Structure 1
Amino acid sequence: MPTDPGHDFLTASQHKHLDPTGQAQGLPQPPLEWPFDPDAPQIPLPDPAPVAAAPVVLRELIEARTTHRRYTADPLALTELAYLLRCTQGVKPTGTAAITKRTVPSAGSRHPYETHLIVNRVEGLEPGLYRYLALENTLIRLPAPDDLAQRATETCGKQLIADAAVTFVWAVVHERVTWVYGTRGYRYLFLDAGHICQNLYLAAESIDCGVCAIASFDDDALNALLGFDGTEMFVTYMGSVGKI
């Protein structure tokens, strides 16, 4: 009888099968933020408070949420992008340097995701690849080919990225979670991605934008295109965003 790798993983990640975690062994805690070039120019994000998010009733917003695969040619304002970033990975004060609290839940407050952006149409930003530095609330631009959006689209079975105003790319640093939870932490990585994307859907709905979640892609090709090694950091989920 052939083995089922998915079932094997679920079995191996049961608590009774786990080895001592890095935390239990006294190993150093992984950094809360992936390293970046301190000399890279940072783009401060504006205060998202002025964004004209429509007054909503939560239940009505949840009922209205849907996936949008077609967008207008209108750009997002930089304040709108700042609003969406705040709603999906915004950092809250904690009074401790050991963890971060954010606008989404995360197992053990580990928050293993680094948000990257494939920008096509955002006012004040040149098209290209950006990384959101959540602790600093800034953006840095990363090297990328001129045809990044089209090449990313090809890795995803021609889904939407080239037509979106911006695509959120969530790349995970698994060690932040596995240091605490061991192999079982891999389960939590994907749960965390779902929390983030749902916030993106709801926040976008409140500013007349649409989202399409994207989980089908060529892992190796997309990671290589965006500069991730596919082991320490790798893409698990994306969300294209545009005006509707």
Structure 2
Amino acid sequence: MDSIKIQRQWLKSNFDIVDSEDTDQGKKLPQPPIQKSYEEHEEIIDLPEVNKNVIKKNDVFDCFMDRKSNRVYKEEDISLEELSFLLWATQGVKKVVGKTNFATFRTVPSGGARHPFETYLVINRVEGLKKGVYRYLALEHKLVYLFNEEAMDEKVTEASEGQKFVASAPVTFIWSCIPYRTEWRYSVAAHKTILQDSGHLCQNLYLACEAIGCGTVAIGAYNQKAMDNFLKLDGENEFVIYVAPVGKIEAK
């Protein structure tokens, strides 16, 4: 029971004990980058411009009413236009503010406009993309191809605690968290904010999927170390925080 009470502290606001002058931002320490860097030699894929043509359900009331978790997907591929829309809906950058790229305004809210997430994609069936793992470059609205490896499906299934549909879905979103982006501003109050922000991400994915005839399901039950290792993350300064497979579903 004591361990449960300790974990509950993550759910509580700690802003009353934060002195803004004692945060790294208050100390005028360098701000962490708002996006992970990539090398010029890496394979970069341009995404189609986001538009409304992929939307099949325009009534937001219907999207809310019909939204549910889906674990069974059709064998049908997802188009690159549809993937572009889903990425924009979950982390799309509308505006960069500040002379030194201080913050981004996106399609989802984030405490202090810190947006501490990176979007990784396990691609199985997306038109125009080879199978493998990619990362979304939100600032440029592009993808960077990372890797493919043998037995990838088995590794993702194992990391997902045996949930095979996570590995076999046309595309699986895996969001990582770089906590220092938020800690830099909010110190010990950052972590509740990060957890709230991750919910914003996945709810937008649910509604965006519903609008284009796809389905998803929020996955919080995964093996942390195995999932971090799969994406080659250090597990400390960057680690997986949420998983969501996506695929076409039968029309209601």
Q: Which residue of 1 aligns with 2:213?
A: 208
Contact 2:97–2:104 (CA under 8 A) maintained in structure 1: no
Q: Which residue of 1 aligns with 2:160?
A: 156
Counterpart among 81, 101, 108 of residue 104 in structure 1 = 108
For the residues of structure 2 that align with 1:228 and 1:72, how far apart are their CA atoms? 31
Q: Displacement, 1:9?
A: 4.5
Q: Which residue of 2 aligns with 1:7?
A: 8
User: What are the Cα deviations for residues 95-145 of structure 1, in whole angstroms up to 9, with x where unaligned?
Assistant: 532111110000011111110000010011111100001111111111242
Cα gap change, 1:141 to 1:95, in 2 (>3 Å): same
Q: Percent identity among equivalent residues?
A: 39
User: What are the Cα deviations for residues 182-217 of structure 1, in whole angstroms up to 9, with x where unaligned?
Assistant: 011011111111101111100111111010111111
Structure 1 residue 179 and structure 2 residue 184: aligned? yes
Q: Which amino acid aligns with 1:189?
A: I
In terms of fraction of residues, the more helix-rich structure is 2
What SS does structure 1 have at the residue aligned with 2:207?
helix
User: What are the Cα deviations for residues 143-198 of structure 1, in whole angstroms up to 9, with x where unaligned?
Assistant: 24232232111111222222210000100111110000001101111111110111
Q: Displacement, 1:17?
A: 3.5
Q: Which residue of 2 aligns with 1:59?
A: 61
Structure 1 residue 113 and structure 2 residue 117: aligned? yes
Structure 1 residue 133 and structure 2 residue 133: aligned? no
CA-atom RMSD in angstroms: 1.7
Q: Displacement, 1:223?
A: 0.1
For the residues of structure 1 that align with 2:113 and 2:153, how far apart are their CA atoms? 32
Q: Which residue of 2 aligns with 1:17?
A: 17
Cα gap change, 1:60 to 1:100, in 2 (>3 Å): same
For the residues of structure 2 that align with 1:122 and 1:57, how far apart are their CA atoms? 26
For the residues of structure 1 that align with 2:40 and 2:154, how far apart are their CA atoms? 30
Q: Displacement, 1:41?
A: 2.0
Contact 1:120–1:149 (CA under 8 A) maintained in structure 2: no
For the residues of structure 2 that align with 1:10 and 1:158, how far apart are their CA atoms? 28
Q: Which residue of 1 aligns with 2:31?
A: 29
For the residues of structure 2 that align with 1:77 and 1:135, how far apart are their CA atoms? 21
Contact 1:29–1:176 (CA under 8 A) maintained in structure 2: yes
Cα gap change, 1:52 to 1:14, in 2 (>3 Å): closer
Q: Which residue of 2 aligns with 1:71?
A: 73
User: What are the Cα deviations for residues 9-30 of structure 1, in whole angstroms up to 9, with x where unaligned?
Assistant: 557x623434621111111111
Which ranges of 4 or more aligned residues in structure 1 deviate by more than 6 Å? none
Q: Which amino acid aligns with 2:6?
A: P
What SS does structure 2 have at the residue aligned with 1:101?
strand
